[in-house]
């Protein structure tokens, strides 16, 4: 936070040292307060929403975070060049870097964050635990890897620095501990420049519960209730809510007290979060303190009726909190993180253009988005598109409202986790508040499955897409040659349209026959008939019930824009579900074929390491790791698709690869015995440790 010399200093212009959703979030409050805004952006983000919306923007040449958003010297220089008074760190990147905070203060700027000393005290999880132990905050006792015994299992290996699941491993067998510690250390060193890791007991079915704190420079500390963030994938949060359900008054008071002691122990100022692991027996243990604003802060804002960013600025200007105690909480709020990813395929991140992102609003629904229609999701940054938040007087109402908003959203672009979010919110365990960090370990397979009538819904959506496409073509024809007439005395033959459903890759053939005096009829969908057909909307009667299908087509393929008409992507939205299709050409291009047995990179990235002692000609088993590819802040493990022989390894550690690059070639065991034809090329398998 600002120094004593800054007390009473009025902030007139703020630079946000970040990008995407959090930059836009801070700018929104600044505009409401009459504060000017400055953005920084990489080359990849030159036309990103946060760069477009700011009053001024400064370029950070390059694309990689290490060259741009992690360059504190460039960001400070940008603030000075743009005439900013203060720097807001956002979250991620340099938001918890004490050296950056000091550089901002030394440049004569106001730092809208905690004192550098507080950041430093909490930067290392091992040192933070020692400090919290002295402050009387409950902890899990660490276990030295060399002294671990069978009765200590399972264990959790964690990076001392950083967060987001990097450098984290669950160990269930003592024999694997040494290798997992080494792997976690290597990942932590690559991600944070610090390879220190520690080991502690892993609590099965624990809950991730945290407390939002806010402290001024006048001795007041607010504990703004609890949040439950137990639904996580790869140790990253997916759904968060406030207050945490099913806590006793004693538990809440204990968590609030421990969070306040943690904040006072480091002389904290500003907004921060103290995170706890709540064991099944009800005991809470300190995990870490995030010395910044959290991604999930909107649920606290909704429940307490506060603007945490406005309060951050107020405290940075030297003002006290408005009262000795925070306001009373009201109602319940739930937030879902919308990611460009495919949960059914090990949460594989997706890239491409976002054509449309619209979430129905209304009272109690909030959208904090990092992208807008026309923006690109690139490989350089986290794939989170937006956060959708719902508030209501009760938890059940808030959950229902959020699920409905997500279900009715129009999200056209890369594959997302939207369906998973809706199904998670409606799962009986979530609905009843039975939450823990193993939720997706137990339920992911079921949550990724289509409903029992999923195939019928999919085919109805594809039929609607085909009808809309035919109507669009007829409309276009009527503007030119259609005016010349086209009457014929013969019945029309069946029309065929081929699609590939995305994600998943299931290929569908839609056959329908134009009918005189009415909409076309489907030849392979009993109980489904068209009522009205337009180029952007089709009404179908499905088993006697009328449904509206909104249809939108965009001339780009799954690998990016420019694929041409035959590679168009079509999005169909209806109460029966949202579906995306790629139009398949009638005659496949032989140039699209890849060498059989190839493992392909599904996204641009960097090969961070290869499997030890593995070379061409070696036998491999199904699921055996061959190499690790880092992309979009995640590490993806590429594995052998079947038992066989590694014919070729085409990449080296540190090599940058593009979409579709051949990483390795594996011949299956069966092919080796028979000498027969090899299977088609397989995509790289993402099974890696989290980001």
Domain ranges (residues) in the chain: 4-112, 125-136+204-447, 141-201, 454-478+491-583, 593-683
Task: Clarify whether 24 is annotated catalytic.
Answer: no
Residue 620, phi-psi category: left (phi > 0), alpha (psi -120 to 50), beta (remainder): beta
Alpha-carbon span 608 to 598, nearest angstrom: 19
Tell me whether strands 86-88 and 110-111 are parallel, antiparallel or unpaired.
Answer: parallel
Q: 601 with 522: CB under 8 angstroms?
A: no
* pLDDT beyond 90 at 226: yes
CA distances from 684 to 573, 636, 663, 665 (A): 30, 9, 8, 11
Q: Can you give the pLDDT at residue 567?
A: 59
| Interval 422-439 mean pLDDT | 97
pTM as predicted: 0.85
- Position with higher pLDDT, 558 vs 500: 500
**Banded pLDDT at 685 (limits 50, 70, 90):** very low
If you classify domain 141-201 with CATH, what class do you get? alpha beta
**Banded pLDDT at 126 (limits 50, 70, 90):** confident
| End-to-end Cα spacing for the chain | 29
**Of 292, 395, 456, 567, which residue is the catalytic one?**
292
Structure tokens at 286: 């300190």
Tell me whether strands 507-515 and 518-522 are parallel, antiparallel or unpaired.
Answer: antiparallel
| Interval 668-686 mean pLDDT | 44
* pLDDT beyond 90 at 520: no
Q: pLDDT tens digits, residue range 374-388?
A: 999 998 899 999 999
CATH classification for the domain delimited by 4-112, as one of 3.90.470.10, 3.10.110.10, 3.60.150.10, 3.40.50.20: 3.40.50.20
Q: Can you give the pLDDT at residue 506?
A: 85
Q: Can you give the pLDDT at residue 633?
A: 63
- Position with higher pLDDT, 589 vs 259: 259
- Position with higher pLDDT, 352 vs 8: 352
Q: Which residues contact 595 (CB under 8 A, 6 or more apart)?
A: 662, 665, 681
**Banded pLDDT at 468 (limits 50, 70, 90):** very high
Domains 454-478+491-583 and 593-683 share a fold: no
CATH classification for the domain delimited by 593-683, as one of 3.30.420.40, 3.90.1150.10, 3.40.50.720, 2.40.50.100: 2.40.50.100
Buried b (16+ CB within 10 A) or exposed e, 552-591: bbbebbbeeeebeeebbbbbbbbebbbbbbbbbeeeeeee
Exposed/middle/buried for 24, CB within 10 Å: 0-12, 13-18, 19+? buried
**Banded pLDDT at 356 (limits 50, 70, 90):** very high
| 343: DSSP letter | G
* pLDDT beyond 50 at 688: no
* pLDDT beyond 90 at 642: no
Structure tokens at 371: 């992208």
- Position with higher pLDDT, 472 vs 425: 425
| Interval 457-476 mean pLDDT | 91
If you classify domain 125-136+204-447 with CATH, what class do you get? alpha beta
* Residue-averaged pLDDT of the chain: 88
* pLDDT beyond 90 at 50: yes
Q: Which residues contact 223 (CB under 8 A, 6 or more apart)?
A: 211, 212, 213, 255, 256, 257, 259, 260, 326
CATH number for the domain formed by residue range(s) 454-478+491-583: 2.40.128
**Banded pLDDT at 691 (limits 50, 70, 90):** very low
Q: pLDDT tens digits, residue range 167-198?
A: 888 999 999 998 899 888 888 887 777 888 98
Say how many residues make up the chain. 691
């Amino acid at each position: 936070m600002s120094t004593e010399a800054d007390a009473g200093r009025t902030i007139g212009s703020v630079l946000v040292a970040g990008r995407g959703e959090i930059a836009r979030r801070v700018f929104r409050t600044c505009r409401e307060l009459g504060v000017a805004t400055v953005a920084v952006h990489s080359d990849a983000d030159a036309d990103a929403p946060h760069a477009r919306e700011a009053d001024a923007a400064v370029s950070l040449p390059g694309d990689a975070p290490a060259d741009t958003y992690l360059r504190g010297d460039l960001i400070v220089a940008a603030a000075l060049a743009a005439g900013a008074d203060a720097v807001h760190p956002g979250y991620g990147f340099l938001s918890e870097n004490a050296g950056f905070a000091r550089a901002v203060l030394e440049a004569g700027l106001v730092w809208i964050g905690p004192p550098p000393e507080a950041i430093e005290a909490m930067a290392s999880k091992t040192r933070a635990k020692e400090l919290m132990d002295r402050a009387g905050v409950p902890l899990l006792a660490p276990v030295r890897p060399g002294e671990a015994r069978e009765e200590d299992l399972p264990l959790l290996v964690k990076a001392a620095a950083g967060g987001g699941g990097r450098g984290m491993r669950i160990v269930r067998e003592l024999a694997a501990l040494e290798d997992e510690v080494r792997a976690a250390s290597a990942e932590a060193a690559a991600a944070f420049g610090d390879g220190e890791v520690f080991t502690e007991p892993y609590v099965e079915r624990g809950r991730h519960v945290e407390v939002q704190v806010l402290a001024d420079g006048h001795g007041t500390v607010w504990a703004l209730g609890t949040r439950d963030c137990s639904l996580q994938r790869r140790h990253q949060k997916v759904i968060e809510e406030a207050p945490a359900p099913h806590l006793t008054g004693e538990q809440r008071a204990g968590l609030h007290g421990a969070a306040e002691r943690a904040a006072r122990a480091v002389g904290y100022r500003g907004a921060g979060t103290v995170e706890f692991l709540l064991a099944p027996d009800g005991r809470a243990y300190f995990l870490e303190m995030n010395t910044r604003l959290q991604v999930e802060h909107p649920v606290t804002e909704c429940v307490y009726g506060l603007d945490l960013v406005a309060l951050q600025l107020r405290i940075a200007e030297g003002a006290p909190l408005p009262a000795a105690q925070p306001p009373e909480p009201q109602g319940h709020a739930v937030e879902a993180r919308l990611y460009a990813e495919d949960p059914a395929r090990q949460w594989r991140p997706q890239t491409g253009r976002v054509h449309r992102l619209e979430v129905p609003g209304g009272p109690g629904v909030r959208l904090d988005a990092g992208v807008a229609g026309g923006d690109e999701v690139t490989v350089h940054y986290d794939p989170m598109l937006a956060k959708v938040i719902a508030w209501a007087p009760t938890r059940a109402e808030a959950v229902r409202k959020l699920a409905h908003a997500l279900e009715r959203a129009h999200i056209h672009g890369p594959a997302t986790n939207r369906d998973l979010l809706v199904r998670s919110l409606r799962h009986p365990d979530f609905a009843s508040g039975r939450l823990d960090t193993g939720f997706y370990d137990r339920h992911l397979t079921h949550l990724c499955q289509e409903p029992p009538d999923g195939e019928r819904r999919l085919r109805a959506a594809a039929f609607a897409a085909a009808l809309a496409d035919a109507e669009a073509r007829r409309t276009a024809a009527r503007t030119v040659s259609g005016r010349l007439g086209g009457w014929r005395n013969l019945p029309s033959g069946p029309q065929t349209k081929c699609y590939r459903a995305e994600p998943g890759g299931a290929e569908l053939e839609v056959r329908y026959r134009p009918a005189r005096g009415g909409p076309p009829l489907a030849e392979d969908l009993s109980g489904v008939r068209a009522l009205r057909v337009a180029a952007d909307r089709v009404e179908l009667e499905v088993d006697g019930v009328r449904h509206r299908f909104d249809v939108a087509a965009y001339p780009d393929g799954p690998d990016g824009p420019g694929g041409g008409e035959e590679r168009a992507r079509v999005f169909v939205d209806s109460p029966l579900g949202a579906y995306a299709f790629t139009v398949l050409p009638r005659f496949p291009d032989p140039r699209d074929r890849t060498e059989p047995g190839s493992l392909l990179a599904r996204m641009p990235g960097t090969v961070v390491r290869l499997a030890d002692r593995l070379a061409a000609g070696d036998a491999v088993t199904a699921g055996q790791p061959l190499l690790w590819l880092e992309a979009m802040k995640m590490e993806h493990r590429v594995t052998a698709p079947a038992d066989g022989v590694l014919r070729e390894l085409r990449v080296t550690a540190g090599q940058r690869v593009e979409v579709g690059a051949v990483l390795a070639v594996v011949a299956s065991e069966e092919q080796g015995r028979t000498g027969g034809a090899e299977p088609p090329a397989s995509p790289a398998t993402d099974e890696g440790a989290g980001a």
